[in-house]
């Protein structure tokens, strides 16, 4: 049967909720009453009647909608496990006993949900067979009103008698129908909450898939190593593919269970970057008593951190170990001493160093003024100037409008134009120092503009400048006037007698050293035949034309006569023509035209 509002292709759809509430208020009993499943997994838990670790159960509600429940421990000693359970779950089922009311861990769990920004919650006042639930319903709803959960629907139940359980199911359906849909095309970041081995299958991990989808054969990253998903299970049954939101169990190839633990994440390759320093904005004014060393919770992970206040609600966190975080992630900071929690929104996963005096305050002011979304992405990109596009999206940013892509690089809006305006000056200054060269090599321009990749130079060279043979040139030869004058004189004489290469002493007398002559060759004004033998471009055609009138094959002396030149020129010219493929040298050392 397919639930109303769910299309046929969504038959695998499910929602996930987590319980919350004080120990012994009846969370596990309620999950049992709702699902018919036993959420307490450990023998020790059943013996002690106490949830220690996370429990998992699921059921199909009356409409056909399936719901998985993560049952968390309520005891104060196990709040770390509670945090791992609610970290990826979008909705909460808050359980309060009618005979006890708002209690210490009710407050602690509500503070956690509030800090995480959970907006969808349902209140179950249970043990209504023991006391009138109405005052507790009113009191708790009033306390919740000022949290992220706001105006929370409530149901009075008794897990013992079953009273109110069908109403709870109906209220749960209404709650789940209001959840924003998860994006099944998003990148996967599966925070692992359990890892174990199954005989014959090997390593298995479980987690709440909050976005994206996973199928057998998928390659995912675990730290630096790649693992392959061998099989996927969801709610105890094999599936081809599981799409968010879902509870999943993945059978992995390429990793031993000892190398995995709660808090590790399986990631779509390339979609996330690990970072150990982030700038965040606290979601609530924490006053003067911010913990210097909070524990940072995200997903099922918990890592130590050092907190540096920048200014106002903006702080910098240095994590004891790197996490795959993105801009926009909500973290929970917890002071293990006072048990206080505060939410924190990740603003930057690769923040700038703060060296100068006042840099921290400035950074806080910048972040306070920086909007989210595409506008914030534009501001962030403007600061970075140029980034790899895949790196930028892995930070959690969308590509902002106006940014320009060049190969794998992303340039801030307007930057290419600004840089292009600076290139003529780089060329002029270079030519002033090295007038014989046609223009600066690409690498010189790359360094002058502080570009990360020489391939980007092409994006900032505009006409009349152009890229030619690895240099930025201005299209005109531009040799110094005396040099150009001497070259002009040589070309004038070669125009009269194309094979009368100037003698070496004549070149020296004209002020043409090796560098000047190389510049003339580079600018296409002379052709170098050999050391100190320079002729005009087009000499190959002229040499061929004259050799065509000579009987084939011919000897060097015949060529020399046809060209009307000396052996000094004829010998290297003959070899040069061989090399150019104009002539062919025969075994007896004679030549013929090709
Ligand atoms: N009378 C009554 N007892 C309940 C009800 N729900 C739970 N209990 C009892 O309360 C105790 C704690 O329940 P449990 O589900 O383990 O609480 P949890 O710590 O919140 O998971 C157990 O002894 C349950 O049998 C209820 O609706 N009515
Ligand atoms: Mg329990």
Distance spanning both ends of the chain, measured CA to CA: 84
- At 329, is the secondary structure helix, strand, or coil? coil
**What pLDDT does residue 212 have?**
96
Residues 6 or more apart in contact with residue 386 via CB below 8 angstroms = 409, 410, 411, 412, 415, 451, 452, 456
- At 163, is the secondary structure helix, strand, or coil? coil
Matching residue, tokens 């209690």? 103
What is the rounded distance in angstroms from the CA atom of residue 91 to the CA atom of residue 220?
Answer: 27
Would you say the CB of residue 106 lies under 6 angstroms from ligand 1?
A: no
25 Cα–ligand 1 center, Å: 6
Q: pTM of this prediction?
A: 0.80
pLDDT of 500-524, one tens digit each? 999 999 999 988 998 889 888 887 8
Q: Ligand 1: which of 18, 23, 29, 48 to mutate, most ligand atoms within 8 Å of CB?
A: 29
Going by pLDDT thresholds of 50, 70 and 90, the confidence category of residue 7 is very low
50 Cα–ligand 2 center, Å: 6
- What ranges make up the beta strands (E) of 235-300? 237-239, 241-243, 246-253, 265-267, 274-282, 295-298
Going by pLDDT thresholds of 50, 70 and 90, the confidence category of residue 1 is very low
Going by pLDDT thresholds of 50, 70 and 90, the confidence category of residue 410 is very high
Cα 388 from chain centroid (whole Å): 9
pLDDT of 102-151, one tens digit each? 999 999 999 999 999 999 999 999 999 999 999 999 999 999 999 999 99
Mean pLDDT, rounded, for 55-79:
91
- Are 321 and 274 a contacting pair, CB within 8 Å? no
Residues 6 or more apart in contact with residue 437 via CB below 8 angstroms = 430, 431, 471, 519, 522
Going by pLDDT thresholds of 50, 70 and 90, the confidence category of residue 288 is low
Asked if the model's pLDDT at residue 51 lies above 90, the reply is no
Structure tokens belonging to residue 521: 């060759």
456 Cα–ligand 1 center, Å: 66
Would you say the CB of residue 234 lies under 6 angstroms from ligand 1?
A: no
Matching residue, tokens 């471009």? 537
Asked if the model's pLDDT at residue 580 lies above 70, the reply is yes
Structure tokens belonging to residue 483: 């040099």
Which residue's C-alpha comes closest to atom 9 of ligand 1? 26
pLDDT of 413-458, one tens digit each? 999 999 999 999 999 899 888 877 888 999 999 999 999 999 999 9
What is the rounded distance in angstroms from the CA atom of residue 98 to the CA atom of residue 500?
Answer: 113
What is the rounded distance in angstroms from the CA atom of residue 143 to the CA atom of residue 151?
Answer: 10
* Mean residue pLDDT across the chain: 91
Pairing state of beta strands 274-282 and 219-222? unpaired
């Amino acid at each position: 049967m397919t639930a109303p509002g769910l299309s046929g292709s969504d038959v695998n759809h499910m929602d996930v909720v987590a319980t919350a509430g004080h120990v012994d208020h009846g969370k596990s009993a309620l999950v049992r009453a709702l699902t018919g499943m036993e959420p307490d997994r450990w023998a020790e838990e059943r013996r002690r009647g106490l949830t220690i670790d996370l429990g998992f159960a699921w059921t199909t509600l009356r409409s056909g909608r399936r719901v998985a429940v993560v049952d968390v421990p309520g005891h104060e000693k196990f709040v770390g496990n509670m945090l791992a359970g609610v970290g990826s779950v979008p909705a909460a089922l808050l359980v309060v006993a009618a005979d006890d009311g708002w209690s210490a861990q009710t407050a602690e769990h509500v503070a956690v949900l509030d800090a995480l920004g959970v907006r969808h919650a349902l209140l179950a006042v249970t043990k209504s067979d023991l006391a009138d639930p109405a005052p507790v319903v009113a009191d708790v709803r009033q306390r919740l009103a000022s949290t992220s959960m706001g105006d929370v629907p409530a149901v009075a139940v008794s897990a013992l008698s079953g009273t109110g359980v069908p109403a709870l199911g109906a209220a749960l359906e209404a709650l789940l129908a209001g959840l924003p849909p998860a994006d099944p095309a998003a990148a996967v970041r599966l925070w692992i909450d359990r890892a174990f081995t199954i005989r014959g299958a090997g390593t298995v991990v479980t987690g709440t898939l909050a976005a994206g989808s996973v199928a057998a054969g998928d390659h995912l990253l675990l730290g630096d190593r790649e693992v392959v998903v061998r099989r996927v299970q969801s709610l105890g049954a094999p599936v081809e593919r599981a799409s968010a939101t879902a509870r999943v169990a993945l059978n992995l190839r390429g990793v031993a269970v000892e190398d995995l633990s709660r808090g590790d994440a399986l990631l779509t390759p390339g979609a996330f970057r690990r970072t150990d320093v982030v700038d965040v904005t606290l979601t609530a004014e924490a006053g003067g008593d911010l913990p210097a060393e909070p524990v940072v919770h995200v997903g099922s992970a918990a890592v130590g951190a050092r907190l540096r206040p920048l200014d106002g609600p903006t702080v910098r966190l240095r994590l004891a170990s790197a996490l795959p975080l993105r801009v926009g992630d909500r973290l929970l900071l917890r002071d293990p001493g006072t048990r206080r929690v505060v939410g924190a929104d990740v603003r930057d996963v690769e923040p700038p160093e703060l060296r100068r005096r006042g840099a921290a305050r400035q950074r806080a002011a910048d972040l306070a003024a920086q909007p989210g979304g595409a506008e914030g992405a534009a501001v962030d990109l403007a600061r970075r100037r140029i980034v790899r596009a895949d790196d930028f999206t892995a930070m959690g940013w969308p590509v902002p409008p106006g940014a320009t892509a060049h190969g794998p690089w992303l340039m801030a809006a307007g930057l290419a134009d600004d840089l292009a305006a600076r290139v003529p000056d780089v060329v002029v200054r270079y030519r002033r120092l090295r007038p014989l060269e046609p223009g600066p090599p690409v690498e010189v321009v790359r360094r002058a503009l502080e570009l990360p990749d020489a391939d980007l130079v092409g994006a900032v060279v505009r006409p009349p400048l152009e890229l030619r043979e690895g240099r930025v040139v201005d299209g005109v030869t531009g040799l110094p006037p005396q040099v150009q004058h001497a070259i002009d004189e040589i070309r004038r004489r070669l125009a009269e007698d194309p094979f009368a290469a100037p003698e070496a002493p004549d070149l020296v007398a004209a002020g043409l050293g090796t560098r000047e002559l190389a510049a003339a060759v580079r600018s296409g004004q002379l052709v170098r035949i050999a050391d100190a033998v320079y002729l005009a471009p087009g000499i190959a055609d002229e040499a061929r034309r004259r050799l065509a009138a000579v009987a084939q094959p011919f000897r060097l002396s015949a060529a020399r006569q046809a060209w009307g030149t000396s052996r000094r020129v004829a010998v290297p010219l003959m070899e040069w023509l061989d090399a150019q493929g104009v002539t062919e040298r025969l075994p007896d050392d004679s030549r013929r035209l090709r």
